[in-house]
Amino acid sequence: MTITEDIIELEQKYVLQTYKRPDFVLESGEGVWLYDADGREYLDGGSGIAVNALGYQNQATIAALRQAADGLIHVSNLYHTAPQAFLARDLCENSFADRVFFSNSGAEANEGALKFARKFARSQGHSNKTGIVSFTGSFHGRTMGALACTATEKYRKPFEPLVGDVSFAQFNNLDSARQAISEQTCAVIVEPVQGEGGVTPADPEFMTGLRQLCDETGALLIFDEIQCGLGRTGTLWAYENYSITPDIMTLAKPLAGGLPIGAILLTQVVADTLGPGDHGSTFAGGPLVCTVARSVFGQVNDAVFLDQVKKYGAYMAAQLKDKIASSPLITEVRGKGLMWGLASVPPAAEIMVEARKHGLIILVAGPNVVRLLPPLTISQDEIDELVERLSKTLEMVG
Ligand SMILES: Cc1ncc(COP(=O)(O)O)c(C=O)c1O
């Protein structure tokens, strides 16, 4: 038996089978490249689902991790620690927010955001203002509250009843949003660029319309930037592509370079309604994870770095439109920065499986959209290579 067969057998025997994994075992990585136990290389067009924004073996992140390992790993949120305070300052001073609450994942960040919105409404004396409005095509996580705001039927159905009082409006349809948002709405949750649901950017008029509807009804506007935030679209925050700011924003995925973290950023007005005992977490915001996150944040929140993302994002868009959109299998290329979706005629999963044979890792976003989320550090040559491998993949699928 090879090491690969051995590991796969163990995984299939002992790990709960909620993922359908390909038949290789990933062992190491460097930059945008991943290597398996049999020595095959893969160009990573998925970044561990938008997490490895700085690629593999990022030296500054590793140095921060080593330094953090020499200090405290965990003390709990009962005590002050410097890395948490510094990271909170970094996030607030570089966004709309005044306060941060740390969590351990994206779903957890959204759970907290929903709780904060309910408490905010209640503290204004509105006991019936509990409604949450989400959108078709949305994905906010797998825990009960986050799942209740996630549109995909097949994720929700087996676990119903979910958290109540959530309704769905059509994404990018302001009339539909207007019908759903009322005086009973405490929160509207939206991804500025939908990820899992198909890589669809929100229209500017839709976003400004949502801000206006929230202001009129006293609902809080929550931006889920877990996938599209932190440099992915070419600006530090995806909301910078619009002329508005949210009341709450959730982050996770790339923030700590692969260590588990989430963050809920909020305005002072919302923060004023929350106090000791309202929310908590044993692990979240620990010194080790926050030290690493500060390093990642510092690297991404850099004008030169973000300009590169914009430049290479535009290059990738041009290459995809030139060399991939012409395939009869692809009906639309859409996205922003280094976040791209390719609407496909055949099931996207078929393209993903074929791509692996060409040494390319890609993702899907729903049944008929291929999703590309390469590390933000990808070079022009590597974009050429990605497009070339994708093009060969499509020839084989066709
Ligand atoms: C937009 C968005 N929100 C929330 C989540 C959930 O994050 P996590 O898997 O860390 O719970 C995801 C994960 O894919 C996401 O893309």
Q: Is there a domain that residue 361 lies in?
A: yes
* Ligand 1 near 226 CB (within 6 A): yes
Summarised one tens digit per residue, pLDDT across range 202-231 is 999 999 999 999 999 999 999 999 999 999
| pLDDT, tens digit, 9 for 90 and up, residues 245-273 | 999 999 999 999 999 999 999 999 999 99
Q: Is 107 in the pocket of ligand 1 (CB under 6 A)?
A: yes
How much distance in Å is there from the Cα of 222 to the middle of ligand 1?
14
183 with 317, same domain: the answer is no
CA distance 299 to 116: 30
Q: Give domain status of residue 118, yes or no.
A: yes
Say yes or no: 285 and 325 in one domain. no
* Beta carbon of 222 within 6 Å of any ligand 1 atom: no
* CATH classification of the domain holding 244: 3.40.640.10
Residue nearest to atom 4 of ligand 1 (CA): 140
Q: Is residue 323 part of a domain?
A: yes
Residue 266 lies in a domain: yes
The atom number, within ligand 1, closest to the CA of 108 reads 11
> CB of 342 within 8 A of CB of 320?
yes
Identify the pLDDT of residue 28.
Answer: 98
Return the pLDDT at 152: 96
For residue 260, cis peptide bond before it (omega within 30 degrees of 0)? no
Alpha helix positions (H), 225-336: 268-271, 287-300, 303-319
Give the nearest ligand 1 atom to 107 CA: 11
pLDDT at 4: 97
CA of 140 to the centre of ligand 1 (A): 5
The answer on 88 and 50 residing in a single domain is no
Same domain assignment for residues 309 and 290: no
**What confidence score (pLDDT) does residue 186 get?**
98
User: What ligand 1 atom has the least distance to the C-alpha of 195?
Assistant: 16
Q: Do residues 230 and 254 share a domain?
A: yes
Residues 112 and 225 in one domain: yes
> Does 135 reside within a domain?
yes
- Domain final position from 300, 321, 349: 300
Same domain, residue pair 170 and 133: yes
Cα angle: 172, vertex 176, 181; to 5 degrees = 105
pLDDT at 398: 74
- In whole angstroms, give the CA distance from residue 217 to residue 196: 29
* CA-wise closest residue to 166 among 200, 136, 195: 136
Those residues of the chain that have pLDDT short of 50 are: none
227 lines ligand 1 (CB under 6 A): yes
Closest alpha carbon to 341 in 137, 107, 136, 135: 137
147, 162 Cβ separation under 8 angstroms? yes
- What was the pLDDT predicted at 256? 98
Q: Whose CA is nearest to atom 8 of ligand 1?
A: 106
If one counts the domains in the chain, the total is 2
Whether ligand 1 lies within 6 angstroms of the CB of 138 is answered as no
Bridge partner residues of 279 (DSSP) = none
Q: Point out the ligand 1 atom lying closest to the alpha carbon of residue 253.
A: 10
Residue 66 lies in a domain: no
How many Å lie between the centroid of ligand 1 and the Cα of residue 106?
5
Looking at the fold, whether 30 and 90 belong to one and the same domain comes out as: no
Whether 132 and 156 share a structural domain: yes
Which residue lies with its CA nearest to atom 7 of ligand 1?
A: 106
Report yes or no on 154 lying in a domain: yes
The CATH code of the domain that includes 387 is: 3.90.1150.10
| Mutation pick for ligand 1 pocket among 108, 140, 142 (CB with most ligand atoms within 8 Å) | 140
Instruction: Check whether residue 135 and residue 91 sit in a common domain.
Output: yes
Domain of 344? 3-59+303-397
Domain boundary among 244, 278, 300: 300
Residue 129 lies in a domain: yes
For residues 204 and 279, state if they share a domain.
yes
Residue having the nearest C-alpha atom to atom 13 of ligand 1: 141
Tell which of 300, 315, 342 closes a domain. Answer: 300
Q: Does 237 lie in the same domain as 178?
A: yes
